[in-house]
Structure 1
Amino acid sequence: MSLLPRTAEEFSSADYWERFFRKRGEKAFEWYGDYNSLCGVLHKYIKHRDKVLVVGCGNSELSEQLYDVGYHQLTNIDISETVVSHMSQRNTERRPDLTFQQLDATQTGFESGSFQAALDKGTLDAMASEEDGALAGKMLVEVGRVLAVGGRYVCVTLAQEHVIKLAVEHFVQGWAVRIHCLSGQQKEESDSSFALPVFVLVCTKFRQAPPFAVLELCQGEDGAPTRLASVPELLSAVKERQAYNLMLHKLRGGTDASSTPSLTLCHVATGRPRYTLTVQDSLPSAKLPRSNHFAIFIVPQGRESDWLYGSAEGRTQLASSAKFRRLIIVAMHRDQEYEDMQAVQSELSPMVMELVPPGMPANQQVPFLSVGGDLGWREVIGRGVSALTGEYSVEDVRGEDGHLYRRLIFMNNSQLVQSESRLRSATTDHPVSVLLVGLGGGGLPQFVHDFVPCARVEVVELDPAVLEVAQTWFGFQTDERLNVTLGDGLEHIKTLESEGGHSFDVIMFDVDSKDTTLGMSCPPPAFVETSLLKKVYSLLTPRGLFMLNLVCRDSALRKSVLERVQAVFSCVFSRGIEGEVNEVLLCCRSSGEGHKPHTIPQTLQQTARDLQKTLRANTQTAPCVPQIDITAMLNDLKVI
């Protein structure tokens, strides 16, 4: 420890380094990694034929190892006479072309454009330790001068904020700037004392400055580059990787149940928070299944303020009930778009898999957990700033019970719901959306329109004559909440699915087949093909319902249809029509949290009760008075 500098200024002092290498003797000192850990990225940017200037070589073995694999035009410079003398003597016989010179990196005396690469391992960090960075700035100017057009400055650095900011701002005009983060490449058993990840800064000299800044960040030596729009965005991305690695360093030794480190991951393009990860370890005394090492729990959107997810006690209880040694609890942020659960899992996997607990077996399958299997729902409908409480957000969310709630949240304490009111279906800004294929006489869509005031119904009908019959003889009327599209229902569904951005709370098929030889008169076979059923599934909202009027006299064909439906939907119910061959299939996209097999989901029961109340309330104004007991009808449902 006595060899380490006592102050930051000593890093850039020639006297300090002279004393350092005299005390160190012949033992090599490797800053930030050796050849084995750096060779992948170095070989990527420095070619064997390149003339390379090694800036501040010290007594590192890196140049010797590069020489041994074919780099024979290496010029090493260092400010310490002791280290230059020692390295020259050590390599005179074995590596005659490996040269060492005692030179000041800020004024080397080499001709301009005489090198194709400049390699720096830790020197920039040492020289930038001065408060104003003037010495490091002079070195970067000199490096830029001696590099030829197309040449690269390859700098291995810890990327402390003042260091990387100085370098990137220096090279951003007229150079391409790329940063590789080598975090996650060190093994758990590494004895490295650095908690921060090692970065490799690669700056490529252009002949003519491009019209825009070229700023890129790569994960690992072979990671695909991510383009950043500005220097602050690049620095923010680097800082995020450092914070992540600090968490990794802490977690490699494990945490206790009371320690719940968290990390916010930002969107690369916008720099805005996208995910917050909280690490929750189980109590050492907890009895856990031997294989339950690690799991990821996705908190549904709008539910992160719930006690179970938003409080330390709640998260402890969640981890206890999940029965995993380590649980990563992931919260999604408002004002961010998320495609679906699969996309979120794919996005998170490369990051969270580095947070595995120590000692977890290799190739262990890691499950993603959630509530109900969907991402939840939230819509920010208003934002503002109060002089007293700061920024606030008014947002609609879907609660655990499936109902919509409007919440007021002050952003300085976003885990606390300041106010909450349940939204009534009839007054909510988010009506129930219904897609019905098959019009017939129009009785079904007209019923939904008249007795579910918040419903918006879209009907697809192939035959224009059927629409005319419904309007002329059955009193069917369209308005802003009920419209008809003339066209092929199959093609309409395919178009909606391919366009994206469409979703329905209910999709119903009530369309007959014209082929009387099939043994299934409703619907046509194409409507129950697996490919179309999957499109219907994707068009439903997370708690959506698919209803199918099935008329099939062929038992083998009926069994085949039911198997296809069951393969797509998590639970399927059937209700026969008294005195008819018809049966109505109710297919749930999600069975809901805590749903048990062979029982009716609570959300479906609640929906039936709400609709029954609506029917009773509308008996005075509706064109007819239906004598229907919907809740009793549920008792006749059979699980397929």
Structure 2
Amino acid sequence: MALDIKTFETIIPSRFLSFTIPNPVLPTRLLRVAVLDSPIQPTESPQVAALFVPQTREPDWIFSTESGHLQLLLSSPGISRLILIGNNRINGPDSSPLTYHKREDAQYVKSLENSLKPLFFALSPKVSVKDGIFDVPILDYEDNLICSVVLERRAGIFVSEMLVEDIEIESDSELREFRRRLRFKRMPNLVQTEIRIVPQKVFELDRVKIGGEVKFRPDTKVLVHSYLIPMVASLSLIGSCIEDRFRKGLKPKALCLGVGGGALLSFLRTQLGFEVFGVEMDEEVLSVARQYFGLEEIQVCVGDAIEYVEKLASKDRVLDLVSGEDNGDCYLNHANVFDAKFDVIMVDLDSCDARNGVIAPPLEFVKKHILLAARSVLSDFGIFVMNVIPPTRLFYDTLIHEFQEIFHELYEIDVGNGENFVLIAKVSPVSSPLSECENSFLQKLRIAILGRYLDSIRKI
């Protein structure tokens, strides 16, 4: 069925169309063309832009799904229609090749750009042509990916399709940098978990490559996700109390709501000596975390994080659990949680909205009774730490107000990536009688995160 070119004369918010055409540069191949109109109706003349998909990355969810396409469009301010052009994958978007290697496409893309100008004109609204002048800017897609290999694809009950991939990224140092990622199809432009990986055996550097004979293992000694380091840095606010725990022969307790690949949980346990408990909605995600991301020796409950906190805060529920009633409930696996309250609760939960992208925390979490429940299961000097990706300033201001209504003090760390903030709420004021040189925990913390963000904690 032929495509009516009149279809593209006007912008229709959120309309998404894709089709194939012969490749003018490689006649034996086909090009996939995807056209997406912004969900936001333009108030002035609509601006059209085009983006060429890096060769061999066409199956990546960023480029092959409507939601990935939408996030590309929304990350380009002022664009009303985005045209995506890439080689057509014969076997469909989810049958990606095992490996991707960065290559120079400049000449190929330039040839395509010149050949496709008439197509760009045909796919643009009539009002895009001003005074007889027509121009479609070509957007650049750049990231630090050198090569990648997909290790496995799985599907979870709640997160749906996900994949695990090993990658090599560009590095500022002479040392090569290898990572392992967990990604969800429902949030194609977001890396859910990223950790450093190292070769299991010593190899000559030029022999080490992703997808080759070298096997890699997780390195849980470092955090590479940008917002996890400031979340850990928040522990400096109660460093003296944590030090006191250790001096008494006790381990501080951390509750992590949202596990993912488990990088944060593993770091707290192996590098800082915490007793760690986690809550994760999807059991398949936990399986992936244990198989590929080094999550081990940590108690994790499969369930809803909000429900879990509410049950912890309920004295009647606690009595039922400790007495052994309600058999079969996953919360029974955490019976020893009730021996003491938590010294820190760390929240790394998000949701995905088609228009606004990722929001953290989910709107359901920003309720007074949930924050009150969380406060009730914290120790007298405990802190509540939350990764925040606010969709609007109003959302963020509302969240701050809710925290200030319930907690004694509130602090903020700007992660510096233009997206994430870390909010830290204290149950009570804590003054440290120890200097940092006398506090072994603070010294260990500074070494573990290389001192980053320790001096950027701001009281609100």
TM-score when scaled to structure 1? Answer: 0.29
TM-score when scaled to structure 2? Answer: 0.40
RCO higher in structure (CA 8 A, sep ≥6): 2
- Whichever of the two has the greater Rg, that structure is 1
